[in-house]
């Protein structure tokens, strides 16, 4: 009984005093019939004996559980935190960032919404973590390595590309793209657009008498299908280095028409003028766009004497010998290092023009002519050029109807050429004797590292021995890369002996 009263007094002193008085009055009534009990005294108890049975008095205990992990006893937040919260809530109307301390800037950036207008954030926020959040919110797959490792650059490049891919001439307001240029001009270095939408064509309403009795519509004017003109865009991107374009339409479904995939002459002339005026352009790719000889020559003419162009990719088009002659002229009037004309319609005359330019070229390191039809006449011309060329390292001639005569000349090239590191002759008709000729040339070659002869009718034994020679060359190249000073000292030590001998 004493323990109960004592515990009640600690939990509620007012209640304990009332209980004591009640018991005293009760004792007064019983004193007339019996001895009066002694008045219980309230004494403090130790922590161990305060509540020996917690389960019996759990309803008297108060529990405080903080759901907020940042909850603390400090009722009023710090003034600094209040200011930071206010800046975050009003950042769109009053952006304040540069005037703050670095640790306060980081707190603001960590809590800013990725949906803020680009007019506010583009030229103010350089923090990569903020742009990382912006990218991950919009695109589930992000390859930042394709954008120089910069999340901010990736955001603006992909945002611009999405606008271009969904731009409809005559329907979309050009200001949507032009207003973005001042915000992204310092960050966009690569533009890759794999779709250009044509204008929306409304069905023409024929009036009575417009159509002939035979129902012929051959005299009707063809609708214009010109796409977005890139002149203003390219001129507004002061750091543009790579332009990768495909004039195509994706997911057209039942609305398929051939004119959806048409690269018009107006598109061609506009694009040629744009890339000619872009003096920072290093890589230009125009693939899968049905570019024929005439359009290819218009494009190539605009690239003559370009100051910094290094790579030209016109693969998967309709370019023939006239276009190849234009590319050969470009080799003599530019600093081009990579030329890709794969999967076109280049034949022997076009290959001969390229070979003539290659014989005197000192810049080109990669030439890709796969999936054309240059045949042995064009292959032999290229082989003769490689006997004097001292810069080409990669040559791809797969699928060109080559046979033993080309292999014979290439074997002579392998014996004397010291710059080629990769050759692809797959899907040709080299034959058994051609394979033996190439094996003989490989016996004197120490620099070739890759030689693709798949599906070229070469004997397995020849292909195996060529593979062994390539393996030896790769091992020697690896040793040179690991210890270049050793090989330089060896060459220096052997120099006088060779000169004496």
Instruction: Residue 397: name the closest of 375, 421, 420, 365 by CA.
Output: 375
pLDDT at res. 10: 37
Residue 216 confidence class, pLDDT cut points 50, 70, 90: very low
Residue 281 sits in the same domain as residue 157 = yes
**64 Cβ partners below 8 Å, 6+ apart?**
none
On whether residue 208 sits in a domain, the answer given is no
What pLDDT is stored for residue 84 in this prediction? 94
Contact 190, 239 (CB under 8 A): no
DSSP output for 102-141: HHHHHHHHHHS-TTS-HHHHTTT---HHHHHHHHHHH-S-
Distance CA 182, CA 170 (A): 23
Q: Which residue, among 319, 474, 343, has the nearest Cα to 400 in the 3D structure?
A: 343
Q: Could you tell me if 327 and 265 lie in one domain?
A: yes
| Contacts (Cβ under 8 Å, ≥6 apart) of 213 | none
pLDDT at 274: 96
Confidence of residue 226 (pLDDT cuts 50, 70, 90): confident
Three-class SS state of 424: strand
Which position has the higher pLDDT, 54 or 141?
141
Q: What is the pLDDT of residue 72?
A: 65
Same domain, 170 and 314: yes
Q: What local confidence, expressed as pLDDT, does residue 45 receive?
A: 46
372 pLDDT more than 80: yes
Asked if residue 241 and residue 135 are part of one domain, the reply reads no
* Residue that is last in its domain, among 108, 127, 142: 142
Contact 374, 397 (CB under 8 A): yes
Residue 425 near residue 397, CB atoms below 8 Å: yes
Rounded Cα distance between 134 and 155, Å, is 7
Burial of 372 (0-12, 13-18, 19+ CB in 10 A): buried
Segments forming the whole domain that contains residue 270: 143-199+225-482
Q: How far apart are CA 125 and CA 15, in angstroms?
A: 63
375-386 helix and 348-359 helix, angle to the nearest 10 degrees:
0
Look up residue 494 and give its two tokens.
Answer: 């052997």
Q: Of 142, 164, 186, which one is at a domain's C-terminal end?
A: 142
- The pLDDT of residue 496 is above 50: no
pLDDT at position 260 is 78
127 and 177 share a domain? no
Same-domain status, 100 and 148: no
pLDDT the model gives residue 114: 94
Residues 117 and 179 both lie in one domain: no
Distance CA 291, CA 214 (A): 36
Half-sphere exposure of 486 (CA within 13 A, CB side): 8
Q: Is the pLDDT of residue 334 over 90?
A: yes
Residue 455 belongs to domain with CATH number: 3.80.10.10
The total number of structural domains in the chain stands at 2
Residue 39 lies in a domain: no
């Amino acid at each position: 009984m004493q323990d109960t009263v004592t515990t009640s007094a600690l939990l509620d002193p007012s209640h304990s005093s009332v209980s004591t008085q009640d018991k005293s009055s009760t004792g007064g009534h019983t004193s007339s019939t019996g001895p009066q009990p002694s008045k219980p005294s309230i004494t403090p108890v130790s922590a161990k004996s305060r509540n020996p049975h917690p389960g019996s008095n759990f309803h008297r205990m108060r529990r405080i559980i903080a759901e907020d992990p940042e909850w603390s006893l400090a009722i009023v937040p710090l003034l600094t935190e209040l200011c930071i919260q206010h800046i975050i809530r009003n950042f769109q109307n009053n952006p304040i960032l540069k005037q703050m301390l670095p640790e306060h800037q980081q707190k603001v950036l960590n809590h800013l919404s990725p949906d803020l207008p680009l007019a506010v954030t583009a030229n103010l926020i350089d923090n990569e973590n903020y742009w990382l959040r912006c990218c991950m919110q919009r695109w589930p797959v992000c390859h930042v390595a394709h954008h120089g490792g910069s999340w901010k650059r990736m955001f603006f490049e992909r945002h611009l590309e999405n606008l271009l891919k969904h731009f409809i001439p005559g329907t979309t307001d050009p200001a949507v793209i032009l207003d973005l240029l001042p915000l992204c001009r310092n960050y966009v270095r690569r533009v890759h657009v794999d779709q250009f939408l044509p204008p929306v064509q409304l069905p023409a309403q024929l009036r009575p008498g417009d159509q002939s009795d035979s129902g012929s519509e051959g005299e009707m004017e063809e609708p214009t299908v010109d796409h977005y003109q890139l002149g203003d865009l390219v001129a507004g991107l002061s750091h543009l280095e790579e332009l990768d374009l495909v004039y195509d339409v994706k997911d057209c479904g039942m609305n398929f028409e051939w004119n959806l995939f048409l690269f018009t002459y107006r598109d061609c002339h506009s694009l040629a003028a744009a890339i000619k005026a872009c003096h920072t352009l290093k890589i230009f790719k125009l693939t899968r766009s049905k570019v024929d000889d005439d359009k290819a020559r218009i494009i190539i003419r605009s690239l003559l004497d370009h100051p910094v162009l290094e790579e030209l990719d016109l693969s998967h088009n309709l370019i023939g010998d006239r276009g190849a002659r234009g590319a050969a002229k470009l080799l003599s009037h530019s600093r081009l290092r990579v030329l890709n004309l794969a999967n076109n319609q280049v034949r022997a005359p076009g290959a001969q023009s390229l070979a003539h330019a290659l014989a005197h070229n000192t810049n080109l390191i990669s030439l890709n002519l796969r999936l054309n039809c240059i045949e042995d006449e064009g292959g032999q011309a290229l082989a003769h050029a490689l006997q004097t060329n001292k810069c080409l390292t990669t040559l791809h001639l797969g699928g060109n109807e080559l046979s033993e005569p080309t292999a014979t000349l290439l074997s002579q090239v392998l014996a004397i050429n010291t710059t080629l590191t990769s050759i692809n002759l797959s899907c040709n008709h080299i034959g058994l004797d051609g394979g033996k000729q190439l094996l003989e040339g490989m016996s004197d070659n120490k620099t070739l590292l890759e030689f693709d002869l798949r599906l070229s009718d070469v004997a397995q034994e020849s292909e195996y021995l060529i593979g062994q020679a390539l393996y030896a060359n790769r091992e020697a190249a690896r040793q040179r890369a690991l210890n270049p000073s050793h090989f330089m000292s060896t060459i220096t030590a052997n120099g006088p002996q060779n000169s004496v001998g």
